[in-house]
Amino acid sequence: FATVLLFSVCSHSYRLLCHPHYIVDIGKTQFNMSLFYSNIRRRPRPGEISLSHRGVLFLDELPEFDKRTLEILRQPMEDGHVTISRSAGTFSFPAQFMMIGAMNPCPCGYYGFEEKGRSCHCAPYQVQRYAHRISGPLMDRVDLFCEARRIEYDDLTTKKEVENSYTIRERVLKAREFQQERYKSTEIKNADLTPAQIKKFCCLDIDASKLMAEAYEKLKLSARAYSRMMKVSRTIADLDLSENIEEKHLAEALQFRTIPLFQRS
């Protein structure tokens, strides 16, 4: 109900996906704030991230967004709400969204595809500058990284069977039921776990504990990244209907934590 109320305040129909565009009119000292709020009669109204509450915020061409906008996005991603202070008062809007960002590996889009007959025309400094538009603190708040490679022709034309959406949905529902049984005395989900709850509910077996200790040191993980990885591992274990987080569950979570090649250049 609260989510639908947000949309009625903004005179929008309810939708599960918000897809704001990066092209905005940016002055020397001001930049677009529509992601966070809009002004109606000098009173802030919920912006795109609040309209994405309990839904998906898809930011395509992520590095093309103004860097200041992306940096302000960090706090709502962490806290689940956005606070706006104006002369009329302080306003707080909910903003618990799933943020999905998409970006090319470089300005021309072909970095890392040299072996496929295409060549990147960007200078090394251009690749670095493009990748560094996404700051380390923002990346630290991202749970999953996925590098989408070029699809081969045989993969497009093959008739091999793949898991369909219905089957995936059934697996997810079973995992949710398994999760709800664990948290039946509360209303939390894996994403809501506090550090104390992570210690209680994210139990690693012996092999997984050794792997976590090794990964923490080798990858130089922050405490925030550790917490996020534990939550992802807990979710992967839930999909396996496993009470404990095993080594294979943590290993899969570590794969999703691997930074794409162009971000490491």
Whether the pLDDT of residue 187 is over 60: the answer is yes
| Arithmetic mean of pLDDT over the chain | 84
Q: Which of 96, 116, 151 is the C-terminal boundary of a domain?
A: 151
Q: How far is CA 126 from CA 57, 104, 123, 130, 265, in A?
A: 28, 13, 5, 6, 11
Residue 13 and residue 128 share a domain: yes
Domain boundary among 151, 182, 200: 151
Q: pLDDT at position 28, please? A: 42
Name the token pair of 202. 């994210």
Q: Tens digit of pLDDT for each residue in 225-239?
A: 999 999 999 999 999
Give me the percent of the chain exceeding a pLDDT of 70: 85
Same domain for 18 and 73: yes
For residue 34, is it within any domain?
yes
Identify which has the larger pLDDT, 152 or 64.
Answer: 64
Mean pLDDT for the stretch of residues 151-167: 84
- The CB-side HSE value for 241 (13 A sphere, CA atoms) comes to 6
Is residue 145 a part of any domain in this protein? yes
Same domain assignment for residues 15 and 123: yes
Let me know if residue 191 belongs to a domain: yes
Residues 95 and 194 in one domain: no
Report the domain count for the chain: 2
SS3 191: helix
Residue 208 located in a structural domain: yes
Residue 26 lies in a domain: yes
Q: Does residue 160 form part of some domain? A: no
What is the dihedral sign for C-alpha 186, 190, 195, 196? positive
- Of the residues 93, 117, 151, the one at which a domain ends: 151
Q: For residue 30, what pLDDT is reported?
A: 46
Q: Tell me whether strands 89-94 and 81-86 are parallel, antiparallel or unpaired.
A: antiparallel
Q: Does one domain contain both 137 and 201?
A: no
Q: How many helices (H) and strands (E) does the chain have?
A: 12, 7
Task: Kindly provide the residue ranges of all beta strands, DSSP E only, lying in the chain, ordered along the sequence.
Answer: 17-18, 37-40, 43-46, 56-59, 81-86, 89-94, 98-101
Query: Distances in Å between the alpha carbon of 250 and those of 175, 178, 191, 246?
Result: 17, 18, 16, 7
**Any domain includes 232:** yes
18 and 140: one domain?
Answer: yes
Is the same domain home to 217 and 100?
Answer: no
- The neighbouring-strand residues paired with 81 are 94
Domain annotation covers residue 158: no
CATH number, domain at 28? Answer: 3.40.50
Q: What is the DSSP code (8-state) at residue 44?
A: E
Same domain? 51 vs 147: yes
| Residues 6+ away with beta carbon under 8 Å from 113 | 120, 150
Q: Could you tell me the residue range of the domain that residue 97 belongs to? A: 2-151
State whether 108 and 176 are in the same domain. no
Per the structure block, which two tokens stand in for 195? Answer: 């550090």
Enter the pTM of the model: 0.82
Q: Do 141 and 12 share a structural domain?
A: yes
